[in-house]
Amino acid sequence: MMPRLGINIDHVATLRQARGEGYPSVVEAADVSLRAGADQITIHLREDRRHIQDMDVDAVRLVTMKYGKPLNLEMGCNEEITDIACATGPEWVCLVPENRQERTTEGGLDLISDENFERVKATCERLQAEGIKISLFLESDLETLKRAALLKPKAIEIHTGEYARKFTAGEDISNFIEDYKVARDFLVSEKIGCHAGHGLSIESVMPLVENKLFEEYNIGHWIVCRAVFDGLGNVIKRFKEIFDQG
Ligand code: PXP
């Protein structure tokens, strides 16, 4: 089966927040992504609101509903954000660890510590009671995956950041592929969906797709970066046309 592509549009909001203007619009980003064939929109409402803002969540939700596609809301285990998730009712919530100092999500949830496990469990229970499907952002180690299965998530999203960095540096990635196969087989046996995300590019996603490792990929930063160069020349030509016309 063809894997699903979720587009993370956080960094469209990053550009907007950098100038404090109303553009670029995350609504337009969601609309363009879904019109181009994306299967889902992913946004991360962080505690520090560094990119996506509260009002973006409802606005993007309206776009995904218009297209009949899922909204995947990434969030930390935080009560205030859980309230927003319950009020918005996205199809999916992906729970991630959040640390105020980090530049981006740096790894999967720690489910080995009992304290963290209980915190994640409480958040899962609140969201699941609202009918929201849960995915947990995790490393691919089996011990963590087995703990995660106790929380009855609909999916696990495997953190691919380290893999993607090694792939891009031209290093050997065969151990990641082997780990991901073991993780996938475990998740299939538990009837839990197997998703992937973080740091992926059009090149680094290829071995994962060829090996049929994941049902869903959530990709953002690289797509927004690539879109700059796929669009820059066209925008400049439009300015020059206007100048030429006098
Ligand atoms: N999946 C999760 C759980 C994430 O936290 C992120 C980053 O917000 C992504 C996917 C997308 O990662 P990237 O922007 O590096 O493609």
| Domain spans, the chain | 4-245
**Amino acid identity, residue 25?**
S
pLDDT score of 1: 85
The CATH fold assigned to 4-245 is TIM Barrel (3.20.20)
CB-ligand 1 contact for 10 (6 Å cutoff): yes
Nearest CA to ligand 1 atom 4: 198
- Say whether 216 is catalytic: no
pLDDT score of 114: 96
- Say whether 198 is catalytic: yes
As a whole number of angstroms, the distance between CA 86 and CA 75 comes to: 12
Helix (H, G, I), strand (E, B) or coil at 245: coil
Which one is catalytic: 44, 51, 159, 195? 44
pLDDT score of 52: 98
pLDDT score of 157: 98
Nearest CA to ligand 1 atom 6: 198
**Amino acid identity, residue 75?**
M
pLDDT score of 171: 98
CB-ligand 1 contact for 219 (6 Å cutoff): yes
Decide: residue 101, CB within 10 A, 0-12 exposed, 13-18 middle, 19+ buried.
Answer: exposed
85 closest CA partner among 97, 98, 71: 71
As a whole number of angstroms, the distance between CA 6 and CA 74 comes to: 12
Intervals of the chain under pLDDT 50? none
Sign of the alpha-carbon torsion through 124, 128, 129, 130: positive
pLDDT score of 100: 66
Encoded tokens for 24: 């670029």
Q: Report the run of H or E that residue 137 belongs to, with start and end.
A: strand 133-138
CB-ligand 1 contact for 123 (6 Å cutoff): no
- Say whether 51 is catalytic: no
Global confidence as pTM? 0.96
